[in-house]
Amino acid sequence: MALLTWTRKYSVGVKTLDEQHMAFIGIINELHGAMMKGRAAEVALPLLDKVMQYGHKHFADEEALMQSTGFPSLAQHRAQHQDLERKAAAYAQKAKNGDSTVFLPLLHFLRDWLNNHLVQEDQKYTEWMHEHGIR
């Protein structure tokens, strides 16, 4: 069973960003699935690296669209992305140091962050992007 399921509430109405959000949810579900099968220690570090790399690329793409359209809240949005990356890096460091108890809190953190960020913060730029021809 998936931890997160894509629904319309997550959509920002920008095809490339929605596709990236879907992929990010897929990676989180991979990590969840591995944990449910007792394989977290075996596959979590590569998946965590994948989450970090994919998240960084996605944030850069999202911020580039915001910048290209002059989105007025870009600085605040960028700060949220940086905060996520900083917190995720701390979880990753703990995992790399052999702390196997970090995976469940990490999973909850990522789930909660996605639910809050996609549903609340990312929705703030949807109308702006559409007004500027980005779909």
Look at residue 123 in the predicted model and tell me its pLDDT: 95
Model pTM? 0.91
pLDDT of residue 31: 87
In a domain, 92, yes or no: yes
Model confidence over 8-59: pLDDT tens digits?
Answer: 999 999 999 999 999 999 999 998 998 888 887 778 788 888 888 999 999 9
In a domain, 72, yes or no: yes
Average pLDDT of the chain, as a whole number: 92
Tell me the CATH number at 82: 1.20.120.50
Q: Which H or E run includes 92? A: helix 74-96
Measure the CA–CA gap between 36 and 31, rounded to whole angstroms: 9
**120 within a domain of the structure (yes/no):** yes
Structurally, how many domains does the chain consist of?
A: 1
What digits encode the pLDDT tens for the residues 58-101?
A: 999 999 999 999 999 999 999 999 999 999 999 989 988 989 88
Q: What is the pLDDT of residue 38?
A: 82
Range of the domain at 33: 14-131
Percent above pLDDT 70 for the chain: 100
